[in-house]
Amino acid sequence: MGRTLVELFYDVVSPYSWLGFEVLCRYQHIWNIDLRFRPAFLGGIMQATGNKPPAMLPKRAEYMLKDIERMGKYYQVPVTVSADDFQRIFGKSSLGAMRFITAIDMTQPKYLEPLSREFWMRFWSQHEDISQLESIVAVAGQAGLSSEFTQKLLDMISSPEVKNRLKETTEEAIKYGAFGMPAVVAHFNGKPHLFFGSDRLELLANVIGEKWLGPVPSVPSSKM
Ligand code: GSH
């Protein structure tokens, strides 16, 4: 059996994307999959599909505070959330951060995983800004990027290449049927299968014929 390509469309403004990202990072060493990170722009998906951030409904926002907290504990991801965080999402865009992440994907994709994680850490664990230039520079430093390289990426983020790449990835997610994030697309049996949500990875496992071992699977120890 060949390996299944699993694409994860995500935006660092989305806490549920962080949960899905960490679980798939764990399973990429266990399941017979090739995991491909697809940084995209949630604001673009919302606009194109006419959807709205769920936290705009006050009762839903109230529930989400508890849900994200509980999911973070269960998934062992250090996400924490307060009502202010939702206000911060509505006030600031993740466009700059997602362009920066796109630029790294185009130049040094090996940094994609640590860089994305550091953006989530800053926004959803430390509750700090990710939209200002200084914030992006601080995140890049945390992810181990040199200041020269960070500057090169900052120069790239206003280029048509980076802007178009982010736009194309977002459009691709929409073409697969995405209306929110995380959007996971598994290419199985010659067809793309879309899954919405970090809580649908057990179902993904079932569809692609893999075993679900919970959100924190133990990695089998290698034979000596
Ligand atoms: N139940 C899902 C999960 O556990 O991951 C919720 C995911 C979710 O609410 N994602 C937000 C979204 O795009 C972004 S953080 N929502 C769109 C929608 O609910 O229609």
- pLDDT, tens digit, for every residue of 131-164? 999 999 999 999 999 999 999 999 999 999 999 9
SS3 4: strand
Is the residue at 88 inside a domain? Answer: yes
Give 61 Cα–ligand 1 centroid separation in angstroms.
11
CATH code of the domain containing 79: 3.40.30.10
SS3 157: coil
Domain containing 120 equals 4-14+28-208
- What are the tens digits of pLDDT across the range 55-105? 999 999 999 999 999 999 999 999 999 888 888 888 789 999 999 999 999
The ligand 1 atom at the shortest distance from the C-alpha of residue 42 is 13
Is the residue at 215 inside a domain? Answer: no
Mean pLDDT of the chain: 95
**Residue 116: active-site member:** no
Is the residue at 75 inside a domain? Answer: yes
Alpha-carbon span 93 to 46, nearest angstrom: 13
List b or e across 178-208, with b for residues whose CB sees 16 or more CB atoms inside 10 angstroms: bebbbbbbbbbeeeebbbbbbbebeebbeeb
Containing H/E element for 79?
Answer: none
- How many domains does the chain fold into? 1
Ligand 1, pocket residues at CB < 6 Å: 14-16, 51, 54, 179-181, 197-199
**Residue to substitute in 196, 199, 202 for testing ligand 1 pocket (most ligand atoms within 8 angstroms of CB):** 196
